[in-house]
Structures are given as C-alpha cells and as structure tokens.
Structure 1
Amino acid sequence: MNRRTRKTLLNVATGIAVAATAVVVFLPAAYAAPGTVTSNVNVRSGPGTNYGVVDTVRRGTQVDVQQCEGSWCYIAKPGPDGWISSSYLSAGGGSPVNPQQPGLSFGFSTGPGGPTINFGVGQQPQIQPPRPPRPQPPVVVQPQPTFGEVCFYDRTRFRGESICMDSGESTRNLGDWADRISSIDNPDGLQVQVCSESNYRDCRTYTTSASSLGDFDDYIVSVRVR
C-alpha cells in the first residue's frame, strides 16, 4: 500500500472517531474489552461519585470493560461488578485511557466480516484487512475426565437455586434454566463458556468465579465447561 492510500485510509478512520465522540460508547457483550486497574479504587453502583460503593478493586487487577458512560466505565471482575472512573484504567498493552472518551480507547468493530478499527491514546488508527478463515479440524467427541465442578446460581453473589456441571460437560439449551443464571461459582478455575443463544452462539468465557454477570445476567441459554 503506498503512502497516499495509507494516508487516505487513516483520514477516514479519524473521521469516524470524531463522529463517535457525540455519543456514549457501549461495548456489546461479544466485544467487551480487557483493561487493567492502575490504582486502588472504589467500585460504585453507578457512573458517578454520588452512587454507593459496592466494592474496592486493587491496582493491577485485570478486568472486563463492558461499557463506558461519560468518564466512567462498567467493569466485570471477581467479586461485585460496577463502575469506576476511567482515569484508573489502562487499555490493552498498557495504553492510557482518554477520560473524555474512554470507550474509544478499548476499540470496537465496524461489523461482521469488515475491518476492525482500533482507537487508542498516543497511536494512529489502523485499518486491517479481514483475516482469511482458518481451516477447522474434524470434530472428535471423546469422554473427558472430571477435574472440577462449576455451579450456576439464579441470583447474584452465589445465592438462590443452583445447578452444577463437571469439566467436559455442556448443554446446547438450558431448558428451564434458560435466562436464569446470575452468578457463577468456579473455584477450580475451569474454562466456562456461557452463551446468550442456543448452540453456543454469542458467548463469553470465564476462568474465575463471577458474583454477577453484567449484561449477561439472566441472559444465558447454552453452556460449555472445559
């Protein structure tokens, strides 16, 4: 790609970023971005200091940034989830977060099969071509040994009724338990994939316990435990 073409594409990407500053950036569940807490900070029930404190998160904790509103971002982590000021977050690779437009620092996708535009403080936007599909190996179904257990609860903080699954178990449709799960107890650190649709579509993976599930709360239909 010559320099003139690259410059044109970068100008297009910059225009998209300017247009995006007029709205609050919400990251869909499937595109929630990783972040790192840069200082010990209170976790609040809403996007502002006038909301109550629900927990405290320590410096260096890895979190799942699900959405940003103003200069605040909603994070999912071990323990109670909630809102923290974006000034206490860094994006992937340790990049600082723009407190005025924090959502842009965590990136978003332009659509299925299209290019991905990443915005970050201190770096130029880049437009990447779509990756070719990887060849898929044949599916071989084999029984797997049990190394641990995961329990799912119909209320936050591991309360209420529960169902449990062993490592290697899965269900394409939870039936009576569809859209009921609100917290996950995963003491053995198994890889737990929860999906908002049947047949494992629109999924998120947890490797720790989660006392609340953010926008996946009461929105899980299929589950795999590995």
Structure 2
Amino acid sequence: MNRHTRKMLLNIATGVAVAATAVVVFLPAAYAAPGVVTGNVNVRSGPGTNYGVIDVVTRGTQVDVQQCQGSWCYINKSGPDGWVSASYLSAGGRPVNPSQPGLSFGFTIGGPNGPQISIGVGNQPQPQPRPPVVQPLPQPVFGEVCFYDRTRFRGTSFCLESGDNIRNLGDWADRISSVENDDGLQVQVCSESNYRNCRTYTTSASSLGDFDDYIVSIRVR
C-alpha cells in the first residue's frame, strides 16, 4: 500500500470517528425524548454543579431531553439550553432514576470504555406481566348456634351446627325465645314447617319479638 493510499484511509477513518463522536454529543432533534421539569432548577453549562448557571427552568416546563451523562441530562427548551439534574425530571409521568436517567428516556451516553449510545424510547425496559392474582377459596364456616326456650339465653336449650336443617321441631315447636349466634352463622327461623314464613339472623338475638314461641322449622348455613 503506497503512502497516498494509507493517508487517504487514515483521513476517512478519522472522519468517521469524528462523525460518531458528534452523534454521541449532539443528538438530532428527532431522537430527543420528551420530559417534564418537576421543580424549579438551575440550567448549567455542563453536567455538574461546578459548571456555571446559565438559566433557571420552572416546574411543569416541558422539555426535550437530548442526552444524559451521569446524573445529568441535556435539555432543549425555550431559552438557553443546558444541563439539569435528572432528579428534577420526569419521563412519561414517572420519576427518573437519577443514577441511570437515560433508561427512562430510552438512551444512554457515556461508559467506562468510551462513548456509548442507545437511542429510542422503545429501548426502555418493558414492564413484565404481573402474575395472575389467585383468589383464595372461601373457607367453610364452622361453629354452632344455640336456641333457648326463654329470653336472654336462659332456660333449656339445644344447639345446631352449620349445615343442620330441621323441617319440623316437634316437641320444640313454638318454644324458642332467644338465639345465641356468637359465630355469625346464617340462621333461618320459620313459623311454619318446611321453612315457610321465615326470617334470618346472623347475630345473637336475646328476644325474638313476634317470633317468640313461634318457630317450627330451622335452617343453619
């Protein structure tokens, strides 16, 4: 390879490297990601507090984020453009992670081995589908309810459990005056046999009112 050819290839390679650097530092407007300023913040000439303040942008201002470096992002807005802390930016209505702000806007710039770039909102991590919520099966209700032949849970009594049914109380027909239902079962008391003309209790009743001594059939659920 002669000297002229080597020189020409070297110039081409240098031009490509410069062009690539320009792409990293100066992103085209088409690649900018929208953002919103979440609080009044200084706009600086560089990515750090050691750079001078060139403007102040107010909370709620919509900006175009051109690139991010470290915990700082370069924004384009009405007035002087510059660098702001990523802590004062949101992307898509969500706070920006100050340690990796580029991920929120779909690009990253800078790396331990030299400039890197990944442009496009589509590069953001996609949310993983949530596992289906499995509702627990209803647990059977265990307990008992007791029936007394006097008010206020006094006198002779008998008890039934959940699932018990009596179509006709026989000797206990028209004798029940109070119901003790501490377990909150659904108790249906009826003034006629075969569960007709009924009312339902889910709590204890020290007196049954017009159903006092007027119960012939019972269902407990």
Structure 1 and Structure 2 fold alike (TM over 0.5): no
TM-score (norm 2): 0.39
Using CA pairs under 8 Å that are at least 6 residues apart, name the structure with larger relative contact order, 1 or 2. 1
Name which one, 1 or 2, has greater alpha-carbon Rg.
2
TM-score (norm 1): 0.38
